[in-house]
Structure 1
Amino acid sequence: MLLAPLNHLLAQQSSLRAQMAMHAGKVVAIMALPLQICFLVSEDGVLQATDAEPDTTLQFHFSLLPRLALKDEAAYRDIAIEGDATLGAEVGKVLKALRWDAEEDLSRLVGDVLAHRITQLGADLFGTRGEFASRLAKQYTEHWTEDAPLLAKPDDIADFLSKVDQLRDDVERAEKRLSRLAMDLKQSS
C-alpha cells in the first residue's frame, strides 16, 4: 500500500531507481510506529513488499513524518539505523532525494497548460520550498507536544527510557543480592 507512492516517485526519477537497484536483493524496513513497511529491492530498483528479515532498519518517531516530508534537515538526524548502516544510509539518501513531479502527474489529468498553471498557483500560495506547509507542520508539532500533549517530547522520552534502564539495573542488583543471601542461608544451615 505505502510502496506504490514510493515506486511512483522512483519511476519519475530513474537515477534514484538505479541507485536502489545497486542494492538488489536487500531487505529494508522503515519503522515509524504504528507505520511499518518492509520491502525487498528488486533488480530494476522497484520496491516489493516482503515479510523477510530486514538487512537494515530505519527507525524514527511518527511525529517526524511531516518534517521529513518537508525535507527538514534537522529531522534526518533523528533517524536511527539498525543493521547494515551503509545500506541504511544509502536508502535514506535516496528517499531524501525523492521529489514529486506534480506537474507531470497533473498534466495527465488536465493537460499541460492547466497543470502548469495549477502548480504555479500552488507555488505562489505555499512557496516553492513549502514554507507555509513547514510552518504549519511545526505549529501542529508544537501544539501536540506542548498545549495538547498528544505526542511526547524527545527529551521526555529520553528521560523516561533512562529511568527505565536505571530501574532495570536496580532490579538486577537486588536479584543478585537476594541470590547471594539465599546461598548464604543455605550454606549456614
Structure 2
Amino acid sequence: MATQSPFSWLEGLLQNLPPLPNLQPPEWAVDEAQRRIVLLLNHILMQEVEATSRLARQKGRVVLMQWRSFSVRLVATPAGLLDRATAQDKPDLVLAVSEESPLTLAQNVLRGDKPAVRIEGDVQLAADVNWLVDHVRWDIEEDLARVIGDAPAHTLSQAARNMAAALRQFLGNAAAADSTKAPT
C-alpha cells in the first residue's frame, strides 16, 4: 500500500500561493542576518587551514549567492575569511539556487543532496567554492562541548544525529511512496 507524504499538501499550498512581491523583511533584519551568517561562516572556516588558504588566494573576489528574492554578496579577505561586499561590487561569481520551492529544497538538503545551482563567472573561484562546500564541515559537537562539557555535548549530538537519520529515512520513504503512486 502506497503512503502519501504528509507534506504533499503543504508543498501544493506553497506552490499555489500568489507571489508576494511587497512582502519583504525589514532592511535592518536582512542586514543583521547577513552579518550573523558571515560570522558563522568565518567561525567554521577558521577551523580548516586549507579553507582559509584557498580563500586567501581569492582575496578581493566577490561571490553573489541568490535564492528567489534573497541574496548576499561575499568578498574573500586577505586573511582567507569572508566579509560582506557592497551592492556596488561587481560579482566575479554568481551562484543562484534553481529550486523555487522551500519545501523541496529542504527535503533535498536533508537527504544530503546538493541543490541545483546555476553558476556564472570565474571557473577557478567556482572550483574553490565547490571545494569548500564539499570539504568544510562545522564541528557543532566541539563548539557545544566548550559550553556544556564533553559528555553532554556528545549525548546531544548523538541524539541530533539519530533524529536527522530518522528524518532522512522518513523523507526517503515518502519520496519512494510518491514515486510509486499510480497517476490518477
Q: Same fold (TM over 0.5)?
A: yes
Show the counterpart of 2:146. 108
Show the counterpart of 2:66. 31
Runs of 4+ aligned structure 1 residues displaced above 4 Å come to: 135-142
Q: 1:133 to 1:15 in 2, by over 3 A?
A: farther
Alignment of 1:13-92 (within 5 A): 13-51=48-86, 52-60=89-97, 61-62=99-100, 63=102, 65-66=105-106, 67-68=108-109, 71-72=112-113, 75-76=114-115, 78-92=116-130
Q: 1:50 to 1:111 in 2, by over 3 A?
A: same
| CA-CA distance at 1:37 after TM superposition | 1.0
SS of match in other structure, 2:66 = strand
| CA-CA distance at 1:9 after TM superposition | 1.4
TM-score normalised by the chain length of structure 2: 0.62
- Higher RCO (CA 8 Å, separation ≥ 6 residues): 2
Q: 2:166 aligns with which of 128, 132, 148?
A: 132
Unmatched segments (≥5 aa) in structure 2: 1-33, 177-184
What amino acid maps onto 2:55 in structure 1? Answer: M
Asked whether the equivalents of residues 110 and 168 of structure 2 are also in contact (C-alpha less than 8 Å), the reply is no
Unmatched segments (≥5 aa) in structure 1: 143-189
Max Rg structure: 1
Q: Once the two structures are superposed, what CA deviation does each residue of 1:115-144 show, in whole Å capped at 9, x if it has no partner?
A: 122222333x23xxx4334356678999xx
Question: C-alpha separation between the residues in 2 aligned to 1:111 and 1:4?
Answer: 23
Show the counterpart of 1:6. 41
Asked whether the equivalents of residues 65 and 73 of structure 2 are also in contact (C-alpha less than 8 Å), the reply is yes
Q: 1:101 to 1:89 in 2, by over 3 A?
A: same
